Homo-oligomer: A and B are copies of this chain.
Amino acid sequence: MTHFADRLADAIDRAGSPVCVGLDPVVDRLPEEVRSAHWEPARAIAQFCSGVLEAVAGVVPAVKVQSACFERYGAEGVRTLEGVLSEARGRGLVTVLDAKRGDIGMSAEHYAAAAFEHARADALTVSGYLGPDTLAPYSGGVFVLVRTSNPGSDAVQSQRLADGRTVAEMMADHVRAIGEPRRGARGLSDVGAVVGATKPEDGPALRARMPDQVFLVPGYGAQGGTPDDVRGMRRPGARSPGESGLLVTASRSVIYPGGEGDWRQSIRGAARRLASEVGAIALRP
């Protein structure tokens, strides 16, 4: 398998924008047409996701699939998730499995096998709380949770260490260290970080600590993150959107755009607007 960060950078440059559509399907919010056609929720979600993938392929370089929305339905949901990842791959989209896994020893190896060998995702979100040694088994792309977008994250991640760093900055230093030997031809590491757009005061400091990490950035749009917030997280010296070190993700604002007419058309329109907006941010100045 080729280097994840290189493939992602190439895909971003082809699309012209470092953006990622989040598939967080919730039955209650699906288009009436889809909801009423299926008795089983996992089937409705499968049809909806297929429509979303058709709509966004060729518009955005990547999708992020929220594992919890599928696991909710047990084995049937996991089968649906496998199908969604497979279809996304077939449509040329880079896939991020947002499962926030984290365990020790053999269990970490199993999670890596589940994500990269079985489900064949290109990248996986992981937790680093168990220590940097637990991240070694993930041979594909990973995004380590550093600074998350929810209000309550400050109670852990903003705590100040005796050495002056915050807990998030300490995690960032681990991410940089383990990512150092895993940089590709374009300078970016396969070990990236999750950094929420809703904590703009932290973005530039975290970028300084992680110069070669791709930041998977949730919280843009629906959760309140603005273009200025994202601008502060760009990687210095980037020559193209693919080297900006950004992968801004939006879910609800794209997959539930509201409005009249065909829902796939509406989603395609929302994805276009997002890609154009974030594409402009990614380019200097």
- Contact residues of A with B, CB < 8 Å? 24, 26, 66, 68-69, 71-79, 82, 100-108, 110-111, 113-114, 118-119, 127-134, 145, 148-157, 159-164, 167, 170-171, 174
Contact = CB atoms under 8 A, between A and B. Distances in A.
A130 to B, nearest CB: 5
B161 A160 contact: yes
A113 B156 contact: no
A13 to B, nearest CB: 30
A111 B71 contact: yes
Nearest to A174: B155
A133 B107 contact: no
25 contacts: A24-B107, A26-B106, A66-B107, A68-B108, A68-B114, A69-B110, A72-B110, A72-B113, A74-B78, A74-B119, A75-B82, A100-B101, A100-B103, A104-B150, A127-B127, A130-B148, A131-B148, A131-B150, A131-B151, A131-B157, A134-B150, A156-B174, A159-B161, A160-B162, A161-B162
A103 B68 CA distance: 9
Contacts of A157: 129, 131
Contact of A130 (B113, B152, B170): B152
A72 B156 contact: no
Nearest to A66: B107
Copies of the chain in the assembly: 2
B159 A131 contact: no
Contacts of A134: 150, 152-153
Which secondary structure characterizes the binding site on chain A?
helix
Contacts of A127: 100, 102, 127, 129
Given A128-B156, A133-B151, 17 more contacts: A68-B103, A69-B110, A72-B118, A73-B114, A73-B118, A74-B119, A75-B78, A100-B127, A104-B150, A128-B129, A129-B129, A130-B150, A130-B152, A131-B152, A132-B155, A155-B174, A159-B170
Given A75-B76, A78-B78, A154-B131, A69 B149 contact: no
A76 B148 CA distance: 32
Contacts of A79: 74-75
Contacts of A114: 68, 71-74, 77
A163 B159 CA distance: 9
Given A74-B119, A170-B159, A130 B153 contact: yes
Contacts of A171: 156
Contact of A68 (B111, B161, B163): B111
Contact of A74 (B82, B105, B108): B82
Q: List the 7 closest A-B pairs by CB distance, nearest first.
A: A133-B152, A131-B152, A68-B110, A75-B79, A104-B150, A68-B107, A131-B153
A114 B71 CA distance: 6
